[in-house]
Amino acid sequence: MLSICLISTTTLAFIGVCLAFIGDNYLLIKIAFVLNYFIFITSYLYTALINPGIPKRSHYIGYLKNKNLGDKNNWKKCSKCNILIPKNFKVIHCNICEVCIREHDHHCPWTGKCIGKFNLFSFYIFVNSLMCYIIMIFVTFYGYMFYKGFNKINYKHKK
């Protein structure tokens, strides 16, 4: 629900600012808006849809066949998932998702899933592009309001 609000709000802001406020003379600003919006949506979808680092059981079964399981010092077991994990992997169990995540960073409410080894970089791109997008919207909006206000003042002095 939170991610739907995020996408719909930014889409409405994109349409409102980019298409309504910016005139035909500012093609470069429109291109910057579209490019940043594309990066924002793509990184959001990639972050939300990719496996964040949940260990696949088939991977560990193959790993177990090639390694000697008799050396228990090389393995650790998650008390909640009951999965054997090599000790050289940094794995943390997420209590919200109820799965183990490799190099767990946090559970993100915006994407509705954990941020881990495989989606951390795209999450950083998502957050930074969202921040740039919001800054672009405010600068464009307030620049437009300043420009319109400045033109009204000049128009009043000409009469």
Please write the tens of the pLDDT for every residue from 108-147.
Answer: 888 888 999 999 999 999 999 989 888 887 887 777 777 7
User: How do residues 126-135 score in pLDDT, each as one tens digit?
Assistant: 999 989 888 8
Q: Which of 110, 108, 80, 92 is closest to 53 using CA atoms?
A: 92
Structure tokens at 1: 């629900």
114 belongs to the catalytic site: no
User: Percent of the chain, pLDDT > 70?
Assistant: 70
Active-site pick, 18, 94, 100, 108: 108
Is pTM beyond 0.75? Reply is no
User: How do residues 25-43 score in pLDDT, each as one tens digit?
Assistant: 677 777 888 888 889 888 9
